Amino acid sequence: MAARRGVRRRPILSLAVLAIAMLAIAVILPPGLPAGAVEIDAAAAVDATALDAAPGEAVAPAEETGIRRPLMRQIGPLEAAAGPPSRRAVADGRAAVRRRFRAEFSHTATAAGARLAAETLLSAALTEPDRTLRWVLLDEARRLGESSGQAGIVSRSFAAAAGTYDFDDVAGELRSLEQIPVRALDGGRAAALAKAAEQLAARAAGDNRLPQAIAAEGIAVRAWQRAGNSPAAREAASRTTALERRSIRD
């Protein structure tokens, strides 16, 4: 009889244990949240973080980060360079530059003084944060190089400006080189003009701007002649002829 009573009590104990376990689960989990939902939501949070990250960016587990940091997102393509400043802005900037470099401008009557002033302006333009003043510094250096027959200064000014501003640097440099009086140059400055013109012609020809290339080679011919370098002048003339024939074919 005792054995029979023990057997009969086992189902009753099992049901009691089951009831206690269900009550514990109901207390731990919030109302309406099914069992296993905690693990599912944690996994979904990790997936959402990975999708929100930039391509190729590693996402640290939540226990390592503690506080979620803002994620670096991929930016769009770089904007095109803006054009030169307005004439009004350039006029105001020119007055400011001339006040700042009054001493340098006071010695520009000679070629050596103009070159020294132009070099100072070019160096200042490299670190000038204001884009209007930077343009004025480069333009003033260009003007000094043009008036003193320093073709290298002219080319460097346009090269620096082309890296920041959107404008036709080929046409601009060609106009400046054409303003340099070849007959007033000594041999060294004439040779520098010829080399600058040849480099400009090569750039123009590479862009298929044949009229500008032909004009630049014409400057090189005259400059080499002034420098007394007949072989270089003949080579420049030969390139001019080839460009003219190419322009006719095209």
Q: How confident is the model at residue 229 (pLDDT cuts 50, 70, 90)?
A: very high
pLDDT band at residue 138 under the 50/70/90 scheme:
very high
Long-range Cβ contact pairs of 30-35 (< 8 A, separation 24 or more): none
What local confidence, expressed as pLDDT, does residue 19 receive? 52
pLDDT in tens, 6-25: 444 444 444 454 555 554 44
Q: Is the dihedral of CA 138, 142, 144, 150 positive or negative?
A: positive
65-69, 110-114, 130-134, 146-150, range with the lowest pLDDT? 65-69
* pLDDT value of residue 30: 45
Pairwise pLDDT comparison (63 vs 219), residue with the higher score: 219
Average pLDDT over residues 23-29: 46
CA-closest candidate to residue 141, choices 107, 115, 163? 115
Q: Return the minimum-mean-pLDDT range out of 29-43, 78-92, 183-197, 226-240.
A: 29-43
Across the range 138-156, mean pLDDT stands at 97
pLDDT at 205: 97
* Res. 171: pLDDT tops 80: yes
pLDDT band for position 135 (cuts 50, 70, 90): very high
Residues 6+ apart with CB under 8 A from 94: 136, 139, 140
Say whether pLDDT at 39 is over 60: no
pLDDT of residue 81: 73
pLDDT digits (tens, 9 = 90+) for 67-100: 333 332 232 334 457 999 999 999 999 999 999 9
Query: Which amino acid is located at 37 in the chain?
Result: A
Question: What is the model's pLDDT at position 91?
Answer: 96
The set of long-range contacts for 221-224, using a CB threshold of 8 Å and a minimum separation of 24, is 222/182, 223/182, 223/185, 223/190, 223/191, 223/193, 223/194, 223/197, 224/190, 224/191, 224/194
Task: Look at residue 67 in the predicted model and tell me its pLDDT.
Answer: 31
Q: For the CA atoms of 14, 16, 19, 21, what is the dihedral angle to 10 degrees?
A: -70
pLDDT for 66 beyond 50: no
User: What pLDDT does 22 receive?
Assistant: 54
Q: Which stretch, 20-29, 50-59, 80-89, 192-201, has highest mean pLDDT?
A: 192-201
Cβ of 90: how many Cβ atoms within 10 Å?
17
Helix (H, G, I), strand (E, B) or coil at 33: coil
